[in-house]
């Protein structure tokens, strides 16, 4: 069946670069003679009919903006079989032959359900957590890394001025990629992530004492959200080392901001590929990047894949922060 009309939506937590992906999808499709509809507020928009036809100018002036111009949501209703049916019916009613979904694993599960309900879907990985296992780098991750690094650099200034320890939580409920890479970039004394078991005395206190002995006076400890408890950690550190400590949860500021070059280019390449896949009659695929090559996987296969945590990088981080 020839694809005449497609739709695009963003779903789950917003990520910088989503707009560049929407733009690439829209422009590629229109350029190839396919009509495009933008669905607002994720899958909810399919349920409520919050859908608008896009033209070439609908996506002007968004490539540099964080967030998502299409809005996003985590839709509970869509997770039910009735919700999926309603969304598929809406697509059929509007003559939508294919859908591009930009989001994380949860959004891909939805795309899979919708494909099974008869609407061909393609997923694009958009999340700052980088926790899409088939993909080396997700849309938004690079921007979040840089945002976190800049903020921790600022915290370092004040930690240094007061000879303090700054204990900082970065996002990543289930994944420590942000924490590990930010930790290296800011020269953290200790990095705690959900993927690697740690011992507080050995991995935090002993490391601080050892570096103190060689003259280090201020410290950065990076903690992934999945570990949490930074306020208590800072208290314990102060009690056990005598170093005045402060806790900071960076929070949602990490998700905002203008996307980096890397995220804009990645999102543009992925958006372009998503439309090519739909036009080639493919569905239930997730677009990914591996060794700088854009490729794609079956969603089911992608969801079952594992991405090993880079233990060597973790080891390196600690080896050089002495």
Q: Tell me which of 14, 129, 131, 263 is the catalytic residue.
A: 129
Shortest reach from residue 106's CB to ligand F6P, in Å: 9
Range list of β-strands (E), 15-111: 35-39, 51-54, 98-103
Q: Max CA-CA distance within the chain?
A: 71
Integer Cα distance of 274 and 282 in angstroms:
9
Query: How far is C-alpha 234 from the geometric centre of its chain's CA atoms?
Result: 27
Element (H, E) at 39: strand 35-39
With respect to ligand F6P, which residue has the nearer C-beta, 28 or 44?
44
Range list of β-strands (E), 199-314: 219-224, 245-249, 285-290, 293-298
Shortest reach from residue 249's CB to ligand F6P, in Å: 11
Shortest reach from residue 39's CB to ligand F6P, in Å: 19
Tell me the CA distances in angstroms from 321 to 200, 234, 306, 316, one per residue in order. 17, 19, 29, 9
Binding site for ligand F6P (CB under 6 A): 13, 104, 127-129, 171-173, 225, 255
With respect to ligand F6P, which residue has the nearer C-beta, 124 or 171?
171
With respect to ligand F6P, which residue has the nearer C-beta, 12 or 38?
12
With respect to ligand F6P, which residue has the nearer C-beta, 92 or 173?
173
**113 flagged as catalytic:** no
What is the three-class DSSP state of 85? helix
Neighbours of 94 (CB within 10 A): 16
Shortest reach from residue 79's CB to ligand F6P, in Å: 15
Catalytic residues: 129
């Amino acid at each position: 069946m020839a694809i005449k009309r497609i739709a695009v939506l963003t779903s789950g937590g917003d990520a910088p670069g989503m707009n560049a992906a929407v733009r690439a999808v829209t422009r590629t499709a229109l350029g190839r003679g396919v009509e495009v509809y933008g669905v607002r507020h994720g899958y909810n928009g399919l349920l409520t009919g919050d859908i608008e036809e896009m033209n070439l100018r609908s996506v002007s002036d968004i490539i540099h903006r964080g967030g998502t111009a299409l809005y996003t949501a985590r839709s509970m209703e869509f997770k039910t079989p009735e919700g999926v049916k309603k969304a598929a019916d809406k697509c059929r009613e509007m003559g939508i032959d294919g859908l591009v979904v930009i989001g994380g694993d949860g959004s891909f599960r939805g795309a899979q359900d919708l494909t099974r309900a008869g609407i061909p879907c393609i997923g694009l990985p958009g999340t700052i957590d980088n926790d899409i296992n088939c993909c080396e780098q997700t849309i938004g991750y690079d921007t979040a890394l840089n945002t976190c690094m800049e903020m921790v650099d600022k915290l370092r200034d004040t930690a240094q001025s007061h000879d303090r320890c700054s204990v900082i939580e970065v996002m990543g409920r289930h994944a420590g990629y942000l924490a590990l890479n930010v930790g290296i970039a800011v020269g953290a004394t200790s990095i705690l992530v959900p993927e690697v078991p740690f011992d507080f005395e050995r991995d935090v206190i002993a490391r601080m004492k050892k570096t103190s002995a060689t003259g280090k006076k201020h410290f950065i400890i990076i903690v992934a959200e999945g570990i949490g408890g930074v306020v208590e950690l800072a208290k314990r550190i102060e009690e056990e080392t005598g170093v005045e400590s402060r806790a900071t949860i960076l929070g949602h500021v990490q998700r905002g901001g203008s996307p980096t070059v890397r995220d804009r280019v990645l999102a543009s390449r992925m958006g372009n590929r998503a439309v090519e896949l739909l036009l080639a009659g493919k569905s239930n695929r997730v677009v990914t990047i591996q060794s700088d090559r854009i490729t794609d996987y079956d969603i089911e296969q992608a969801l079952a894949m594992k991405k090993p945590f880079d233990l060597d990088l973790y080891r390196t981080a600690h080896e050089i922060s002495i």
